[in-house]
Amino acid sequence: MSEEKWRAIVQNDSSYDGKFYYAVKTTGIFCRPSCKSRVPNKDHVKIFTYAEEALSEGFRPCKRCKPDGMRLPDEEWVEQIAQWIEKNYTEAWTLDMLADKFHGSPYHLQRTFKRVMKMSPAEYIQQVRIAKAMDDLASTNKTITEVALAVGIPNAAHFATLFHKRTGLTPTNYRQRTALNADIQQRREDGGKDER
């Protein structure tokens, strides 16, 4: 990539629109040079002469600058965001950061995500974190604090409150119940009888 093109990207220079497009490998999104999204890492940028080239290599058009002249369907955009959350659920983020990453305004992202998923992005990440915590509690011997940290909630008390609110059980009660159910299941599979 030439310094001239890089400067056009950094300065959001609209005089270069239509002359080239840039894609960001880490996000899978491509933009016009004038796009107001955050300046990408130069090492992650790939230049295209035509929007069709970026599309043919699997890059998606930016929701903000619409480099292909079309809008990405809301459902597809929200699915991309949800997939990113599922892969990066341990990271701390804000709505502004998420909107910037997916090239939309915070207000539009919040409203669209809620309409499509029937919950806000914050509620969705909580749901993903609690589901991962349930897996950890059932399959590991990690402490409650270690489970909380592993799912991206640094405060164990806050984690326990969220967990109870979502599942109706404390993390400790959930682990005990899961262990008991697994024990009963194992006895059934072994053909043994529950002796009391």
Q: Are 137 and 171 in contact (CB under 8 A)?
A: yes
Q: Of 31, 35, 62, 65, which is the active-site residue?
A: 31
Annotation says 35 is catalytic: no
Listing DSSP states for the chain in one string gives --HHHHHHHHTT-GGGBTTBEEEETTTTEEE-TT--SPPPPGGGEEEESSHHHHHHTTPEEPTTT-TTSSPPPHHHHHHHHHHHHHHSTTS---HHHHHHHTTS-HHHHHHHHHHHHSS-HHHHHHHHHHHHHHHHHHH----HHHHHHHTT---HHHHHHHHHHHHSS-HHHHHHHHHHHHHHHHHHHHT-----
| Count helices and strands in the chain by DSSP H and E runs | 9, 4
Residues forming the active site: 31
